[in-house]
Structure 1
Amino acid sequence: MTDEPEDTAAAAKHEKWLEKGVALRAFFYIFGTHLVAGFVWLLFYLGQHAQK
């Protein structure tokens, strides 16, 4: 029974670590999606204004 507070603290620390991982992954996915969308937008813009 003496291990319960330590187990609880370790579980809480692990859960915080998982939350940070999810938040970081979501940030990179959102950033990456916007980066790709911006590049596609740039290609369309340059294609529209190209000398033909």
Structure 2
Amino acid sequence: MTEPEPQPARRMAMEEKFPRGLWVRLIVYVAVGHLFAGFVYLLFVLGGQNQ
């Protein structure tokens, strides 16, 4: 059987990873930001056609 890792090595490995909640928020913010940018772009395109 394999021996468990020493505690300091496990703690260091955990500190190098980002928390799961941070990844979820990052993905949501990026997705919402792109949707908002696409909506603003659509407004400019549709507004430019009416001139």
1:20, CA displacement in angstroms? 0.1
Q: TM-score scaled to structure 1, two decimals?
A: 0.61
Q: 1:35 aligns with which of 23, 45, 49?
A: 45
**Paired positions, count:** 35
Structure 1 gaps of 5+ residues are: 42-52
Kindly indicate whether residue 24 of structure 2 is the aligned counterpart of residue 14 of structure 1: yes
Q: CA RMSD in A?
A: 1.6
The alignment-based identity, stated in percent, is 6
Looking at structure 2, the residues matched to 29 and 40 of structure 1 have their Cα atoms a distance apart, in angstroms, of: 17
Structure 2 gaps of 5+ residues are: 1-13
Looking at structure 2, the residues matched to 15 and 27 of structure 1 have their Cα atoms a distance apart, in angstroms, of: 18
Regions of 4+ moved over 3 Å: none
Q: TM-score scaled to structure 2, two decimals?
A: 0.63
